[in-house]
């Protein structure tokens, strides 16, 4: 298994299990199966609503002696409704309690967008907090505090563009160490990757398989289906692999961590085996040519009428 290396030498496995959309009753088995299959990196978030179930799976894995805490890399994310000073630590404590852990390996600010306390998803302008009301730099100071208290080992962000990254970097005493964004062959985000790598910020690809089980609110008619792209299919056939395995191997080859979600034990096993799949230079080149700047998760939920945010707060291109 390839690992990526943080500035202090700590390591994160390149391949992790995604848990967004692992439903109630599925997440426990998904995480336990993943650990049994060899996964040592599990990606979670408060808003996924399944952290208590995942915590039970961690407890079972530790109790059964499948893995030790220090062998597991656990990420979680601060939801948009907890950006204010007193809310960051409160939500982090809830996440730790649900996951039954006393520290996280990585904690990310989930979006560069703030919502009023208690709001999961906004219904109107009144559900948002502007940057003046909830400055990202202040949220970041709280994240740093949690590192200093030993509650988290590494901090980073998700869905941040270069401008937003520079904004928090300016005042930071701990620079962001990770940026987790949507990345797959339709959206390789090379400009953002180049910037992050030049600043020693690691990257994680979410929705690496095209997130075909995404909810209606982020689904449009005629969205292309990544896993059915003929180029991916041909390369998969050549390697006697699956389309999902090719997509996972492509991310790993880019030195980007990748977190395919599955709640199915056979597919979890299959996805883990993708860490052994080596793509040729020609395969890699052909996949790179699929870039069409297509986003599955376009952030339009954060730019509804009355929102203080617009698309330029999210994406630069
Ligand atoms: P399932 O959970 O039933 O396995 P993403 O990681 O881009 O969000 O994609 C998740 C989607 O891809 C889910 O619908 C998941 O279904 C499916 N999936 C995960 N692994 C595989 C695989 N190896 N082959 C086919 N579909 C997969």
* pLDDT per residue rounded down to tens, the chain (317 residues): 999 999 999 999 999 999 999 999 999 999 999 999 999 999 999 999 999 999 999 999 999 999 999 999 999 999 999 999 999 999 999 999 999 999 999 999 999 999 999 999 999 999 999 999 999 999 999 999 999 999 999 999 999 999 999 999 988 999 999 999 999 999 999 999 999 999 999 999 999 999 999 998 888 888 999 999 999 999 999 999 999 999 999 999 999 999 999 999 999 999 999 999 999 999 999 999 999 999 999 999 999 999 999 998 899 86
The tokens describing 58, both together, are 């961690």
Burial zone of 249 (CB within 10 Å; 0-12 exposed, 13-18 middle, 19+ buried): buried
Q: Is 101 in the pocket of ligand 1 (CB under 6 A)?
A: no
Q: Which residue has the tokens 């860490």?
A: 275
Q: Tell which one of 212, 218, 296 to mutate to probe ligand 1, the residue whose CB is within 8 A of the most ligand atoms.
A: 212
| Ligand 1, atom 4, residue with closest C-alpha | 262
Q: What is the DSSP letter of 261?
A: B
* Chain Cα centroid distance, residue 187: 15
First to last CA, the chain: 33
The tokens describing 100, both together, are 């039954």
Q: Is 210 in the pocket of ligand 1 (CB under 6 A)?
A: yes
The tokens describing 205, both together, are 């690809």
Answer for the pair 53, 98: CB distance below 8 angstroms, yes or no: no
Q: In this predicted model, what pLDDT tens digit does every residue of 139-198 receive, in sequence order?
A: 999 999 999 999 999 999 999 999 999 999 988 999 999 999 999 999 999 999 999 999
Q: Is 212 in the pocket of ligand 1 (CB under 6 A)?
A: yes
Which residues participate in catalysis according to the annotation?
48
Partners of residue 257 on adjacent β-strands: 204
Q: Where are the alpha helices (DSSP H) in 26-135?
A: 27-37, 51-63, 85-99
């Amino acid at each position: 298994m390839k690992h990526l290396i943080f500035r202090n030498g700590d390591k994160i496995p390149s391949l992790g299990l995604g848990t967004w959309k692992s439903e109630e009753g599925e997440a426990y088995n998904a995480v336990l199966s993943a650990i049994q299959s060899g996964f040592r990196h599990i990606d979670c978030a408060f808003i996924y609503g399944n952290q208590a179930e995942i915590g039970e799976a961690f407890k079972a894995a530790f109790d059964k002696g499948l893995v030790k805490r220090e062998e597991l890399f656990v990420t979680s994310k601060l939801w948009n409704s907890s950006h204010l000073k007193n809310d960051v630590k409160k939500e982090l404590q809830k996440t730790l309690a649900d996951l039954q852990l006393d520290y996280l390996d990585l904690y990310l600010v989930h979006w560069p967008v703030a919502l009023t306390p208690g709001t999961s998803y906004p219904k109107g302008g009144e559900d948002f907090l502007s940057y003046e009301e909830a400055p990202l730099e202040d949220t970041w100071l709280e994240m740093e505090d949690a590192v200093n208290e030993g509650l988290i080992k590494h901090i980073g962000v998700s869905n941040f563009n270069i401008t937003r990254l520079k904004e928090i970097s300016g005042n930071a005493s701990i620079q962001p160490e990770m940026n987790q964004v949507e990345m797959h062959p339709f959206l390789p985000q090379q400009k953002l990757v180049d910037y992050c790598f030049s600043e020693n910020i690691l990257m994680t690809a979410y929705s690496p398989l095209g997130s075909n089980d995404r909810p209606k609110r982020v689904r449009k008619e005629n969205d292309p289906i990544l896993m059915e792209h003929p180029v991916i299919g041909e390369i998969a056939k050549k390697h006697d692999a699956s389309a999902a395995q090719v997509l996972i191997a492509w991310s790993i080859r880019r030195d980007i961590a990748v977190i395919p979600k599955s709640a199915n034990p056979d597919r979890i096993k299959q996805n883990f085996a993708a860490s052994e799949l080596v793509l040729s230079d020609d395969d890699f080149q052909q996949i790179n040519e699929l870039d069409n700047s297509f986003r599955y998760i376009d952030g339009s939920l954060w730019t509804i009428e009355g929102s203080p945010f617009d698309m330029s707060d999210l994406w630069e291109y």
